[in-house]
């Protein structure tokens, strides 16, 4: 089969013929119809992000495709089923504390690297092998819509955050990092889940205007000034009522002051979920006042990715028309042009912009 291979950091991906993946018990082979190219893919491939990754590798984080073959443990899949290839692979030998790897992307800890050595190659290929539980049916879709369905890959991340925050219909949510790729998706997902209103702070005026244009009065945008106290006050004033939960999904380059300004805008008894990358490249750690957390009964938790059942649930939101894929402006590249796709993704990684490979 044809695949894009990363052989060495800082070098372009090589498109070449490699062996087809071989199926084993507990695995599924999927014909890749479309695979998203993340905006920061170039930073992974050149080593800037320092993600744990063993080379050579066929990269690619998630895909939409059709089942080609499955093992004897599959009881519901059929050949030709449309599935989302969930890149979040969990070890099966400790349900309480599973090791995790992002297939074709990165690993977490030594256990994650061991897992990655088996589920090594990702979706920048004509076919991919995934664990049975990671080939998740999304229902019947038109083949020409496969690229648009790659938006699920982006929206699943903040969806996992909102599930962790126990966001309920009628509540008010705040997205710290609302003008970014995942942050803008977090706004869309919160509204689809029934949020009364989403507070969307950011520095990019055009991106804030786009959010308001997409979603109307249910989104209240806030232009950040860089002054922590002032920004917190502006967020709270923009909300029609007390803010029930805050999700931070800011990138590594942002100051912890921006995170704290948003987190401490939450109401007493509120919830804060941390999903971003702040601090991963150095800098100050996030400091939240002990008395504020304790006396206001604040719940603060971290969340990485999403639970397995989230894929089925978010597909339901899409099929119901509550979560619209047409918010995304999608640019499609052939697999032969994978390096152009990586460059395009980096330059067009803002709200509701998506770069997709179609093998």
Q: Of the given ranges (3-7, 47-51, 77-81, 314-318), which has the lowest mean pLDDT? A: 47-51
Is 129:29 a contact under the CB 8 Å cutoff?
Answer: yes
Q: Give the residue from 60, 58, 53 showing the smallest Cα distance to 113.
A: 53
Angle between the 205-215 and 181-192 helix axes, to the nearest 10 degrees? 20
Q: Report the length, in residues, of the chain.
A: 359
Is 303:160 a contact under the CB 8 Å cutoff?
Answer: yes
pLDDT score, position 322: 96
**Every domain of the chain and the residues it spans:** 2-149+328-358, 155-302
Domain 155-302 belongs to what topology? Rossmann fold (3.40.50)
Q: Tens digit of pLDDT for each residue in 52-107?
A: 788 999 999 999 999 999 999 999 999 999 999 999 999 999 989 999 999 999 88
Q: Give the residue from 275, 306, 228 showing the smallest Cα distance to 236.
A: 228
DSSP string, 6-21: B-STTSPPEEEE-PPP
For tokens 């990754």, what's the residue?
53
Could you tell me which CATH number the domain at 2-149+328-358 has? 3.90.180.10
pTM assigned to the model: 0.93
Fold match between domain 2-149+328-358 and domain 155-302: no
Q: Tens digit of pLDDT for each residue in 129-174?
A: 999 999 999 999 999 999 999 999 999 999 999 999 999 999 999 9
């Amino acid at each position: 089969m044809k695949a894009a291979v990363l052989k060495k950091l800082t070098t372009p991906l090589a498109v070449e013929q490699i062996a087809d993946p071989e199926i084993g018990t507990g695995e599924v082979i999927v014909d890749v119809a479309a695979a998203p190219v993340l905006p920061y893919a170039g930073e992974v491939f050149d080593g800037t992000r320092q993600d744990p990754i063993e080379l050579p590798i066929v990269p690619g984080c998630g895909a939409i495709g059709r089942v080609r073959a499955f093992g004897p443990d599959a009881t519901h899949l059929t050949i030709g089923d449309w599935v989302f290839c969930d890149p979040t692979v969990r070890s099966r030998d400790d349900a309480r504390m599973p090791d995790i790897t992002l297939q074709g992307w990165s690993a977490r800890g030594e256990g994650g690297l061991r897992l990655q050595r088996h589920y090594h190659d990702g979706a920048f290929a004509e076919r991919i092998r995934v664990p049975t539980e990671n080939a998740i049916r999304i229902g019947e879709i038109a083949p020409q819509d496969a690229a648009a369905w790659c938006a699920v890959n982006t929206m699943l991340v903040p969806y996992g955050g909102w599930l962790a925050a126990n966001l309920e219909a009628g509540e008010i949510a705040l997205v710290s990092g609302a003008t970014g790729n995942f942050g803008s998706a977090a706004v869309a997902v919160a509204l689809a889940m029934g949020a009364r209103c989403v507070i969307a702070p950011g520095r990019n005026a055009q991106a804030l205007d786009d959010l308001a244009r997409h979603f109307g009065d249910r989104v209240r945008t806030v232009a950040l000034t860089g002054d922590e106290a002032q920004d917190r006050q502006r967020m709270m004033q923009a909300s029609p009522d007390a803010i029930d939960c805050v999700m931070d999904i800011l990138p590594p380059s942002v100051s912890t002051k921006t995170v704290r300004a948003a987190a401490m805008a939450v109401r007493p008894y509120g919830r804060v979920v941390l999903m971003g990358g702040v601090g991963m490249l150095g800098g100050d750690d996030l400091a939240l006042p002990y008395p504020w957390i304790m006396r206001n009964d604040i719940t603060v938790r971290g969340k990485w990715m999403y639970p397995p059942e989230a894929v089925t649930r978010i597909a339901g939101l899409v099929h119901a028309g509550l979560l619209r894929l047409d918010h995304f402006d999608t640019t499609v590249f052939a697999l032969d042009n994978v390096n152009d796709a990586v460059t395009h993704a980096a330059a067009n990684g803002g709200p509701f912009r998506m770069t997709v490979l179609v093998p």
